[in-house]
Amino acid sequence: MDSDTGGGKSKLDLSDIMSMLDDTEKKPEQKPEPARKEKKTEKQDDGFVKKLLSDIEQKNAEILRLSSENTSLKYSLSEKEIEVKKLKAQLESSNGLVESLKAQVLSLSQQVEDLNKYVNEARVKLGEMEADRAKLAARMAKKEEQAPPEEEDVASIFKRIALEAREPGASGEGEQAQKKQKTAKLYDL
């Protein structure tokens, strides 16, 4: 450690500094040296010791500051670790939710496919019903063309009804059977 003392420089290591501090505390033995040299050396030593004490106080203050910083950093680090744990838990929860939603999407996709099949089947049956309706409309038009004479007596009406009943598909009962059959088709949808 280099130090300025009274215009000159002296190089001292830690053991020399410590021994000087110990010497000042123990009051060194007085040696019979010339008075002038002793005062000069004491002044240099006192100035050096004061500078060392000042440096030590500064270093202690710096150590305290660093220790305080270290403590606050440790506290901050522990808070961050807690935050990371919370985020990991949220991530795991979110992953579980995503898997659940994927399963729901697959289920809904299957339901959509089933509904599409049902709609297609309904369209086919609707086409069949339209064809049956067209046949009925043709039959009704045919019957309207064969309207009974304007002046029919009751006996001729009953004869006509009896003849129509004997013909398959031409009588009212046949029409009712077809209506029932069509109704059954509607309920099959």
Q: Which long-range contacts (CB under 8 A, 24 or more apart) does 47-54 make?
A: 47/5, 47/6, 48/3, 48/5, 48/10, 48/20, 49/20, 49/21, 49/24, 51/3, 51/5, 52/3, 52/17, 52/20, 52/21
pLDDT reported for residue 162: 83
What is the tens place of the pLDDT at every residue in 75-121?
999 999 999 999 999 999 999 999 999 999 999 999 999 999 999 99
103, two tokens: 């399963």
Task: Give how far Cα 132 sits from Cα of 46, 111, 120, 181, 182, Å.
Answer: 125, 31, 19, 10, 8
Residues in the chain predicted with pLDDT less than 50, given as ranges, are 1-9, 28, 35, 170-172, 184-189
Cβ contact 17:51 at 8 Å: no
Residue 143's pLDDT is what?
78
CA dist 123 and 189 (Å) reads 9
Mean pLDDT of the chain: 77
pLDDT of residue 160: 78
